[in-house]
Amino acid sequence: MRLSLSSRFENIEMAQHLCGKLLEGRDVSEETKHWILMALREGLANAIKHGNGQNLSKRVHVEMRVVEETLEIRIRDEGPGFDPRNVGDPLAPENRLKTSGRGIFYMKTFMDDVRFERAAAGGMEIVLTKKLNASSEREGGER
């Protein structure tokens, strides 16, 4: 499934709905589905806010697919990009009271793998993966 969304927060719910449809009929618990959709929400919010700066002329490109019972979600913005190593640790004492900066932490907590890549077409791409078979799931959204 491929989507090209305008940089509006309102589009996040539509993408989550479509991802939920992609997961229907698969061996995925409701809890795991919830955490996947939360990771998708965080990734899209970051692409819209930080990547594209909420510039409505820029798009967020999303690709969601299941291959061999592994969900892969690719989210690409059209912004200047960033170095993920420079993102502060949200658990560090100096960052605990900040109202932002937890999105990447949440995505890494909810998904099995999170990768950041500079997109060939410009912008940053985040790749989220999650094994879907319930027998390999761990409780509490942990990896």
pLDDT tens for 60-87 read 999 999 999 999 999 999 998 776 677 6
Give the domain CATH number at 10. Answer: 3.30.565.10
- The yes-or-no verdict on residue 92 having pLDDT over 60 is yes
Neighbour count for residue 112 (Cβ, 10 Å) = 15
- The yes-or-no verdict on residue 103 having pLDDT over 60 is yes
- For the record, the structure tokens of 75 come out as 């989210």
Sign of the four-CA dihedral 138, 105, 65, 115: negative
* Measured distance CA(84)–CA(104) in Å, rounded: 9
The count of structural domains within the chain is 1
- The yes-or-no verdict on residue 133 having pLDDT over 90 is no
Between 43-47, 100-104, 105-109, 119-123, the lowest mean confidence (pLDDT) is in 100-104
Write out the residue range of the structural domain in which residue 105 sits: 2-142
